[in-house]
Amino acid sequence: MAPNSTPPPSGVYVPAVLYFDENEDFDVPAIQAHVLRLAKGGVTGILVQGSNGEAQHLSHDERKEAIRLTRKTLDDNGFQQVVIIAGTGAQSTRETKKLCADAAEAGATFCLVLTPSVWPSQMTPEAILKFHRDVADASPIPTMVYNFPVVTAGLNLDSDIIGELAQHPNIVGTKLSCGTVGKLHRLTSTVPITKFATFPGVSDVFLQGLVSGSAGLIGALPNVAPKAHMEVYRLYKAGKIEEAAKIQALLGHADWELGKLGSIGGIKTVVAKHFGYGGTVVRAPLSAPVVTAASTTKLDELIAYEKTL
């Protein structure tokens, strides 16, 4: 267990997409280009192997390599301050512990842990609490609870369970991809941000989350527009809520559009079109979407705004 565990700093974190060549091997130049565009866009941190990073499609060695490559790319280019969170979800406690140790070795500062879901009916509240505590006990770096019902067979951790886990000395935050602002607010008003960082996992409640005491955002859309998200954060911090709300409306529409494109392939397709790097290859059985001008009107609007910043 990590000594003196503290939560990740507040701000905007991106579950970065991972680029592959036509053979589904790592496209290193594209990965580096993407990491650097995000860092130059001002993001606080990068989540390697969030659900957008195709973690479940990677071998253990590839997962370590993706973290190592991201950390080295940041460090070699003067972005040592950019935090790396590593997704370390697996279907057994044993494998999850191994992935946490690997992540620490490869240069991550925090782990984000999904709840196992092959046997959802057996994941009782007691089993969920035990799993996350056992992983946190063993992890050499602080862990965070990743609640994403869409990828965990509908398992949706409530504020009671997450609030209990927040009492563990090595569990320092949560990503709520359920997007439930009420749950977020219950957590932020129960556990101080200095002990436990609560992040929404979707951009369409970014500003609403900040108003409710969140630590910022860990979301897919900053893959497309990191600067626009940092601008919402800056305006909120400056007390300019109305100005922030105008950009937030744009984020909400673009986030919805991205979801309809099927997030991962959609991000790669949109980024390739507008920023000129990376292909659209996703590991099968995923596939890249067919993108039409009509399907990306709000994303195009957001990117036009991004390029003014």
Q: What is the CATH number of the domain that holds 158?
A: 3.20.20.70
Give per-residue pLDDT as tens, 209-267: 999 999 999 999 999 999 999 999 999 999 999 999 999 999 999 999 999 998 899 99
Q: Is 260 a catalytic residue?
A: no
Q: Is 40 a catalytic residue?
A: no
Cβ atoms of 296 and 257 closer than 8 Å: yes
Query: What is the pLDDT at residue 107?
Result: 98
Cβ atoms of 110 and 86 closer than 8 Å: yes
CA–CA separation, 143 and 131 (whole Å): 12
Name the 3-class secondary structure at 298: helix
Tokens standing for residue 71: 């950390």
Task: Judge whether 137 lies within some domain.
Answer: yes
Sole residue written with tokens 């130059």? 40
Is the backbone peptide bond immediately before 9 cis, with ω within 30 degrees of 0?
A: no
pLDDT band of 288, cuts 50, 70, 90: confident
Nearest to 244 by CA among 199, 202, 201, 206: 206
Residues 174-193: what's their mean pLDDT?
A: 97
Task: Judge whether 298 lies within some domain.
Answer: no
Residues 116-139: what's their mean pLDDT?
A: 97
Does residue 205 surpass a pLDDT of 90?
Answer: yes
Task: Judge whether 300 lies within some domain.
Answer: no
Share of the chain above pLDDT 90, in %: 95
Task: Judge whether 248 lies within some domain.
Answer: no
Task: Judge whether 37 lies within some domain.
Answer: yes
Taking CA atoms, 296 is separated from 52, 259, 288, 291, in Å, by 19, 11, 14, 7
- Return the beta strands (E) in 59-149 as ranges: 83-87, 110-114, 143-147
Residues 7-13: what's their mean pLDDT?
A: 98
Share of the chain above pLDDT 70, in %: 100
Structural domain span for residue 46: 11-240
Catalytic residue among 64, 175, 183, 227: 175
CA–CA separation, 202 and 207 (whole Å): 11
Task: Judge whether 41 lies within some domain.
Answer: yes
Query: What is the pLDDT at residue 156?
Result: 96
CA–CA separation, 86 and 18 (whole Å): 13
Average pLDDT along the chain: 96
Residues 107-126: what's their mean pLDDT?
A: 96
Query: What is the pLDDT at residue 293?
Result: 86
Residues 292-303: what's their mean pLDDT?
A: 94
Query: What is the pLDDT at residue 61?
Result: 97
Does residue 47 surpass a pLDDT of 90?
Answer: yes
Residues 155-169: what's their mean pLDDT?
A: 97
At residue 1, what is the residue type? M
Query: What is the pLDDT at residue 220?
Result: 97
Query: What is the pLDDT at residue 207?
Result: 98
Task: Judge whether 275 lies within some domain.
Answer: no
The annotation places the binding site at: 218
Does residue 51 surpass a pLDDT of 90?
Answer: no
CA–CA separation, 117 and 148 (whole Å): 11
Sole residue written with tokens 């995923």? 286
Task: Judge whether 211 lies within some domain.
Answer: yes
DSSP structural state of residue 282: -
Residues in the chain: 309
CA–CA separation, 203 and 41 (whole Å): 16
CA–CA separation, 204 and 281 (whole Å): 26
Give per-residue pLDDT as tens, 69-114: 999 999 999 999 999 999 999 999 999 999 999 999 999 999 999 9
pLDDT band of 282, cuts 50, 70, 90: very high
Nearest to 12 by CA among 209, 267, 253: 209
The annotation places the binding site for pyruvate at: 218
Domain count of the fold of the chain: 1
Catalytic residue among 146, 183, 236, 268: 146
Tokens standing for residue 39: 């860092």
pLDDT band of 162, cuts 50, 70, 90: very high
Query: What is the pLDDT at residue 155?
Result: 95
Q: Which of the two residues, 1 and 147, has the higher pLDDT score?
A: 147
